Structure 1
Amino acid sequence: MSYRIGVDIGGTFTDCVVSDDTGRRTLSKALTSHGALYEGVLGAVARNAEERGLEVGQLLAETTQFVHGTTVATNAVLTRRGAKIGLLTTRGHEDALLIGKVSAKSAGLAERDLTHASRLEKPPPIVPPDRIHGVSERIDVEGEVVAPLAEAGVISAIESLLAAGVEAIAVSLLWSFRNPAHEIRIGELLRDKAPHVFATFSHELAPVLGEYERTVTTVLNAYVGPEVSAYLSELETRLRSAGLRFPLLVMQASDGLTSVQDAGRRPIVTLDSGPTGGILGCRYLSELYAEPHMICTDVGGTSFDVGVIHSGRVPLEPEPVISQYAFRIPKVAVRSIGAGGGSIGWLDDGGVLRVGPQSAGSNPGPACYGRGGDRATVTDADLVLGYFDANAFLGGRMKLDRSQALVALGRLGAPLGMDPEEVAVGMLRIVNAHMADLIRRSTIEQGNDPRECVLVAYGGAGPTHAAFYGADIGAKSILIPADSTVFSAEGMLTCQMVHSAGASHPLAPPFCEQDFVGLCARLDELESRVLGQFETEGVRRDEVTLQRTVT
């Protein structure tokens, strides 16, 4: 018997699904261990092995595919707990990242946050000015060297950054995507002077037009690089020690799987990789049920994620945004808000009941978990109103305490003169309205009619709330997958290895035959790079399907 395993880390639970040769699937969950995420992964796998009557070592030894979606990169950016980094750029352009663009003040913000334009601010800098160093060099738009690289200045900048204690260095020079020679040379100097420092280069990561976005992409990659690469390496080492024989595969946010080595070099591709798994699972259902239009909704413990399937295709964002920073790595279009089972109910300064975006997470968790949490959450409201069975949570392995939920809801409702049940009803109305609003922004505002779409609801609390927000938006029908509580992890098992490469190739009309010859040569170069990556991972050429696009 051989097995395939998918694991998705959420803000509250880590989900695991195991599928065998016969098509049988077993599901398991473990509380996410935020201090050491691999413990939650190993715990979920161990529970699944127990469900099958196997030892963990036996399950892993007979596993031919282990797929993992991680939130490490996303959390590092959102919580501003990434690495201490430095930036090397072309002299005279040190402030490009700090100045940014006018759109940075509003990028990625919800509509309610845009009400007072005078209060909008640029995102806080990921790299402080004192760790941004300009180096003397210049390459022009045609890729010609106008000024040679001053290597002495580069070495001085590297030494200064090392003295500042940086853990990673980003390198983004003007027009490097037209001629990467100077960035390549800086890479050689970094390997010589700072071999222990994580380094990332714009010509490798995002060789595209747009100085600001290209630099943001490179800086974000450096910011999350040390933590993501260390985590994936540690997880794979522990899995191999426990018996796994095949390489660990990592879910990408841009569709498909990649190797630990590639994800370690380009950790930015893992941003939002968990929600992506669920949307790709919906794409599989779209084909299976011959329903070309679907709304994918994932209600987890911390967030509510929405994606769409339109005409059987998964839309990609060419310039996604995280924490108001737009970057140039395409990813599956996912919109998220802080509305999940762990979302906390609270009163604002005017005494109005609010829900989220703060979450109780897995520790201490909702009040009903009995782990020390004393603030009312959506899960507490669901339990008090009878939507959850206190004795059947997590398959009966975790008992919920309704009395603790009543105490927390009663405390929240006391200033309003409301009893616990009234507060619970109010909280559910609010959170369901938030969810319906996000779906409208993901469909109607994008030109799609939700009345023509099948609503797919998954995640730990998706089936509980789908009837409410589904009716609100007027969905065509509602589909609850059998394995809805771990559907994002299961969706990862429908994916294949995917590698992509892109680059800008400026052309000015009128076009001539030589322009198209140059364009084809550029595509051949990208194709060779992708095939080389597959080859290093042991994939034969006849197993690879190539797709070229020009936009």
Structure 2
Amino acid sequence: MTRFSLAIDIGGTFTDAVLLASDGRSFVDKTLTTHGNLLEGFFRGVDLVLDRAGVGPSDVDDVVVHATTVVTNALIERKGPGVALILTQGFRDILYIRDEHRYDMYDPQIEFAEPLIPSERTFTLDERIYADGTVEKGVDREAVREIIAQCRKAGVVSVAVCLLNAYRNSANEDEVRAIFAEEAPEIFVSLSSEIAPQMREYLRTSTVAINAYTVPITRPYLTALTEELDTRGFAQQPLIMLSNGGVIGAERAGRFPVRMIESGPAAGALVACYFSRLFGIPDLISFDMGGTTAKACMIQDHEPLVTGIFEVDRRYRFKPGSGMPITVPSIDMIEIGAGGGSIASIDSLGLLKTGPESAGSIPGPVCYGRGGEEPCVTDADVVLGIIDPDRFLGGDMTLDADGARAALGALGKKLGLTAEKAAWGVFEVVCEQMAAATRTHATDRGIDYRGMPMLAFGGAGPVHACMVAELVYAQKIIYPPLASVLSAFGTLVTPAQIDLVRSLVCLLEALDWEAVDATLQSMIDESSAALKEAGIRDEDLQFSFAVDMRYLGQQSEIRIDLPGDPRDARDAAAIRALFEAEYEAQYGLKLDDMAIEVVNWRVTGSGRKPERSTAPISDGDGKAASRTRTVHIHGEPQDVPVYQRKELTMADRITGPAIVEERETTIFILEGWTLGLHETGSLVAEKANGGR
């Protein structure tokens, strides 16, 4: 019997829907994201793919997986309800003082992201826990009740609690939550000891503040989603994509929304790993360009890079430290405001620029005909002739080419350019921005990106990937099936997974293995409970271990993945050897006589990886080249052949410049590239003569 799995990925411009049958058939569609009510677009996408498959909600008997921008939107828009913060006395201004790091030491006017919780809703308690976990002073219950009274007066619906050294002993934070539960059960309480139980006060405070800020938005959203799915007759509870590349149950995700911030982009990175293994290419560049943003992730040895700290709301795109830090495990990628809806304009120096401002889905690019007045990247693609305005989304959405040309003409007039030359300028600028982001991301991590193949996906990714590939010296580009909705497909090949971390600072040579055992077991128990909530059976539970270490006296650690459960061998010498090898790989040296300090222990719990795939795409009928279209390349018109992807055969070899169209996206290859159909159904472009 055929089983069906459903995935919905809500992006800044489009909501993507994928229905995957157990026999490999896939049904996909895209609809504009409805920002006023995200669930409206969600269920519109659901209805579209169910209609395409000719099935109903009761037929979706495998999984329903969801990736969403709801948390990111809340942080960007800053329209959240009243949130308060409770800190240890003497630490009231920690969100303003930050960690005293200046991301640009030579700029006296640097800007930082404004704290989510203002000082007037920040309260302190006269309590203290020592660094070893000893409770020096407990919580004054009357002081907490006074804070509750002030919270009610201020209309607070969510509270973040971050008390000093709570990562070592959560007793005082637990007491605060208990008092709130007694006196004000309607106020949700987020504890730093639950959200981010690791050392470094500012990071913990920032993380728990972001969680508390987004809970009042995310929990009702996920509750409404679950209830509506049930009402419509879906048998399965939804699973939610997390930033770490795993999925988890909706109820737990609603309590920890800080783990969902990069859910959509993480799905894209995970599906890049899927194709990395499928093609036998261990290292590649994942390039995902949608309507609002572009994301680049470096895949190494078939796995994405992972980070324990990332930032949101950066003041400067490429400058770490200019945003709000979050200390939760996440896929390590770079994301910039360069999508199809990115607005093109002229900066203060009179130079052409794109983004980071985006027209989104409302009003969208001018060519959408929804009231947009400022030219966007998609408008430029239409004016250049790369995108056919009559065949966008298979003709379901006709684009206003005249409106796009008028908008680009007005922009070009300011620069002394025609509409077509201005459009090519927009195309080049946005591609250079994405290439620069990719180069920066790879170089900062010591990765030589030159010559690495690229996987291009997202609605706008295949349009711009060839130019970006040239700028990062890629020799091969893979355009997978379902490229436009690949992040949604990625959620279906992702296992249920949860990453946990606990600080337990100790010299490696003096490890207290009993304490390590207790710490790891507590994380195993917590992750087991979370995975069982997501429907994972005991026999399918899997655990992996890692440790964050540094040389004594250093301020930052490196993550060391362990080959098995460290409690089995209790071999500190073997762990030291792993650390020294990784340290030498990253920094070019090791310090033989220096003591090593363990800072954090990590446990990743997961279920078995789903065995889902799309059916191989068969050859076309050999009538691929059907027409030509005028495309303005470097501002000059050229007659370019246009192919339909579904008509290509394994024998076809296409030489650029050329266009390959499919319903949800368009592939544009430049001169000097050839493209052919791979047995997996992917299209593969290769640079002639070894590239530049």
Q: Same fold (TM over 0.5)?
A: yes
Q: Is the 8 A contact 2:88 2:124 kept in 1?
A: yes
Paired position in structure 2 for 1:81: 79
Aligned mate of 2:128, from 138, 161, 176:
138
Classify the secondary structure of the residue corresponding to 1:126.
Answer: coil
Q: For 1:460-515, what per-residue CA distance to the aligned partner results, in whole angstroms no more than 9, with x for missing partners?
A: 11111111110111113100011100011011111011123221112146516xx1
Q: Is the 8 A contact 2:248 2:530 kept in 1?
A: no
Aligned 1:76-475 pairs, distance under 5 A: 76-103=74-101, 105-106=102-103, 114=104, 117-323=107-313, 324-475=323-474
Provide the TM-score with structure 2 as the length reference: 0.76
Paired position in structure 1 for 2:6: 5
Q: Is the 8 A contact 1:3 1:59 kept in 2?
A: no
**Greater RCO, 1 or 2 (C-alpha within 8 Å, sep 6+):** 1
Paired position in structure 1 for 2:60: 62
Q: Is the 8 A contact 1:87 1:170 kept in 2?
A: yes
Q: How many pairs are equivalent?
A: 538
Classify the secondary structure of the residue corresponding to 2:309.
Answer: coil
Which protein is bigger by CA-based radius of gyration? 2
The reply to whether residue 519 of structure 1 matches residue 516 of structure 2 is yes
Q: Is the 8 A contact 1:11 1:302 kept in 2?
A: yes
Moved over 4 A (4+): none
Q: Which runs of 5+ in 2 are unaligned?
A: 314-322, 549-692
Range 418-427 or range 93-102, more displaced: 93-102
Q: Higher strand proportion, which one? A: 2
How far has the Cα of 1:243 moved from its partner? 1.4
Which amino acid in structure 1 is aligned with residue 142 of structure 2? A
Q: Distance in 2 between matches of 1:546 and 1:416?
A: 58
How far has the Cα of 1:538 moved from its partner? 4.3
Q: Which runs of 5+ in 1 are unaligned?
A: 107-113
Q: Distance in 2 between matches of 1:167 and 1:179?
A: 26
How far has the Cα of 1:116 moved from its partner? 6.0
Q: Distance in 2 between matches of 1:278 and 1:312?
A: 14
Classify the secondary structure of the residue corresponding to 1:501.
Answer: strand
Q: Is the 8 A contact 2:85 2:122 kept in 1?
A: yes
Paired position in structure 1 for 2:611: none
Q: Distance in 2 between matches of 1:536 and 1:38?
A: 23
The reply to whether residue 479 of structure 1 matches residue 478 of structure 2 is yes
Report sequence identity in percent.
35
Q: For 1:360-396, what per-residue CA distance to the aligned partner results, in whole angstroms no more than 9, with x for missing partners?
A: 1111111111111121111111111111111211121
Q: Distance in 1 between matches of 2:226 and 2:393?
A: 27
Which amino acid in structure 2 is aligned with residue 520 of structure 1? D
Distance 1:446 1:501, change over 3 A: closer
Distance 1:530 1:13, change over 3 A: same
How far has the Cα of 1:211 moved from its partner? 1.0
How far has the Cα of 1:445 moved from its partner? 3.1
Distance 1:43 1:263, change over 3 A: same
Q: For 1:303-345, what per-residue CA distance to the aligned partner results, in whole angstroms no more than 9, with x for missing partners?
A: 1111110122211111111121112101001211111111111
Q: For 1:415-436, what per-residue CA distance to the aligned partner results, in whole angstroms no more than 9, with x for missing partners?
A: 2222111111111111111111
Q: Distance in 1 between matches of 2:148 and 2:507?
A: 38
Paired position in structure 2 for 1:529: 526
Distance 1:51 1:538, change over 3 A: closer
Provide the TM-score with structure 1 as the length reference: 0.95
Q: Distance in 1 between matches of 2:43 and 2:508?
A: 57
Paired position in structure 2 for 1:14: 15
Which amino acid in structure 2 is aligned with residue 365 of structure 1? G
Paired position in structure 1 for 2:31: 30
Which amino acid in structure 1 is aligned with residue 198 of structure 2? V
Classify the secondary structure of the residue corresponding to 2:62.
Answer: strand
Q: Is the 8 A contact 1:364 1:373 kept in 2?
A: yes
Q: Distance in 1 between matches of 2:140 and 2:122?
A: 17
Q: For 1:60-117, what per-residue CA distance to the aligned partner results, in whole angstroms no more than 9, with x for missing partners?
A: 54332011001111111122223321011111211222211222x53xxxxxxx5961
Paired position in structure 2 for 1:111: none
Q: Distance in 2 between matches of 1:401 and 1:509?
A: 65
Q: Is the 8 A contact 1:83 1:222 kept in 2?
A: no
**How large is the RMSD of aligned CA atoms in angstroms?**
1.5
Q: Higher helix proportion, which one? A: 1
The reply to whether residue 53 of structure 1 matches residue 20 of structure 2 is no
Classify the secondary structure of the residue corresponding to 1:507.
Answer: strand
Q: Is the 8 A contact 2:248 2:531 kept in 1?
A: no
How far has the Cα of 1:533 moved from its partner? 2.6
Classify the secondary structure of the residue corresponding to 1:380.
Answer: helix
Q: Distance in 1 between matches of 2:480 and 2:467?
A: 17
Paired position in structure 1 for 2:657: none
Which amino acid in structure 1 is aligned with residue 61 of structure 2? T
Which amino acid in structure 2 is aligned with residue 240 of structure 1? D
